[in-house]
Structure 1
């Protein structure tokens, strides 16, 4: 690709897709309400890496192969949805003592990263964008390695630019509270967001399974 027009089109399309509410945003808000801003940054990094994974799959021409393994994608959605429900349960039942919360979140950056990644990989919105809509925005056959590197940078930039405000506002709401009773309510509010995202993804997986039968 010799002009910047395709990159601008990709950036705009991804930005619009990113800010549309979905299970990824719900899970991010829930995680940010239940944790620290640093943990949310790792969660966002996981989301961005998931997007880069799908971008790479599309660029190297594996989109058709991925569609052939629709059953595997359904299993992936089920696993991702179940993990989000488990995460919602841990937030709902977690200890709200501040010192214990600080210690728990300082040790779980890798969990936040993997959770963000799992959310994107199992997110129907991400799958539709990269497997169906992306080919209408970019000529995937003309993407070189340098083009892919630039697209990867744009992907990470757009994801952080579009989703950081959600994480920052939710984390500030968390930081403003210190009473155990308020923290417990906030944890359960976070669990509701995360559980809702997991339920949505599981519902999508069930719908896909019914279509295949």
Structure 2
């Protein structure tokens, strides 16, 4: 595939992915509330969700998605429910004593984190609009070859890794600045509120 449309797509995706939305809110809130443990698995799920929607767009199944709108609606609500679950856990998360600024969070299973991130993206209307409405204006999807598809996927994963990695690094740095149990408690509840807001955004759009 020519580099010009790929570059155009990369820039559009960078702007779209970098603009705060339910996905970014979920990633940042998770890192702030739980640290970087499990962040890779969770964000990998978010990114693969993008690849799924990209693949559906390339295959031209927008009409199919409309036909089975009930299935996608169920996926959306599942993603919202997962975010609400995370919000509840963060709101009630234990905090460290002042002498121990950040308590170690219990280790979570990577596959659960991956599926959680995937469900967030699969239910995110912002992602659906990008791949089904904006993408056809950036690339000629009817002429995408197998190699061209792999190139688009490669660009997608690279851009998302850059964007998500930057947000994770910033959130981790902000988390390390906390030094009291009260600050940790406030942060947990603030991130829980952000998660709940992202869940509402997914469920109502």
TM-score of the pair, normalised by structure 2: 0.90
Q: How does 1:177-192 map to 2 (within 5 A)?
A: 177-192=178-193
- Higher helix share goes to which structure? 1
Following superposition, the deviation at residue 37 of structure 1 comes to: 2.0
Task: Tell me the number of residue pairs that the alignment of Structure 1 and Structure 2 aligns.
Answer: 202
Q: 1:1-213 residue pairs with structure 2 within 5 A?
A: 1=1, 3-97=2-96, 101-104=103-106, 106-204=107-205
Q: Secondary structure at the match of 1:83?
A: helix
Distance 2:29 2:63 in 1: 34
Tell me how large the CA RMSD over aligned residues is.
2.0
Question: CA 1:92 to 1:119, structure 2 compared with 1: closer, same or farther past 3 Å?
Answer: same
Shift of 1:178: 4.5
Gaps of 5+ in 2: none
SS in 1 for 2:38: helix
Secondary structure at the aligned position of 2:178 is classed as: coil
Distance 1:186 1:108, change over 3 A: farther
Gaps of at least 5 residues in structure 1 are: 205-213
CA distance in 1: counterparts of 2:37 and 2:88, whole angstroms: 22
Q: Is the 8 A contact 1:35 1:174 kept in 2?
A: no
